Amino acid sequence: MKIIIIKYNAGNVCSVLYALKRLGVEATISDNPDEIRNAEKVIFPGVGEASTTMSYLKERGLDKVILDLKQPVLGICLGQQLLCRYSEEGKVNCLGVFPQQVKKFISSCHKIPQMGWNDIYDLKSPLFTGINEHSFVYFVNGYYVEYGLNTIASTNYILPFSAALQKDNFFTTQFHPEKSGDIGHKILENFLAI
């Protein structure tokens, strides 16, 4: 199986590569449009800032490549946010696969960004086959995706929000499956089996 992890100006790409290796799966990190288009599965991870990352994707034509993908795609963290319509981080229009907006957490009594383990619930996708409701996964985020028709998992930090989304061949998680222990590994296995 040919798996491509999209290379762009974002952190955490290698963590996903190592998580796949722990599952016995080889993947390639690439920003080559042809390699990305010809992959059987594509993973779009990231930790970074939305507006500068969108500029980077557009400069290299990767925005159009991602939107044209027909194979299963998994967006993780920033990857999820960039697949939404608009982000308050840098006030930027994103890829628009999902109609939701990405909003900034606002609180005077909670730590922002949130960094730690939250439970996920209302699980509604093959991505969560074999995963129990209220399983704990690892989040690092100062922004969140609002609820919508494409929400396939929820969580709560300051307020309830989308922990995962799905539309057609696009699957996303706000949390980091590659840092979420056995639960995260099972989610990655489920994605690879789709």
Domain ranges of the chain: 3-193
**77 catalytically annotated:** yes
* Active-site option among 77, 84, 89, 94: 77
CA distance 138 to 184: 9
- CB of 94 within 8 A of CB of 170? no
pTM: 0.96
Summary mean pLDDT of the chain: 95
**185 catalytically annotated:** no
Determine the pLDDT at residue 61: 95
* Listed residue (126, 132, 139) closest to 166, CA to CA: 126
CA distance 83 to 99: 9
Rounded mean pLDDT, 92-117: 95
Task: Tell me the pLDDT tens digit for each residue of 155-191.
Answer: 999 999 999 999 999 999 999 999 999 999 999 999 9
**88 catalytically annotated:** no
- Main-chain phi, psi angles of 43, to 5 degrees: -115, 130
Pairing of strands 135-141, 92-93: unpaired
* Active-site option among 88, 176, 185, 189: 176
User: What type of residue is 84?
Assistant: C
Residue 192 has pLDDT above 90, yes or no: yes
- Measuring CA to CA, how many Å separate 105 from each of 3, 85, 194? 33, 18, 32
Task: Tell me the pLDDT tens digit for each residue of 125-149.
Answer: 999 999 999 999 999 999 999 999 9
CA distance 96 to 117: 28
What is the CATH T-level fold of the domain 3-193, as seen in this structure?
Rossmann fold (3.40.50)
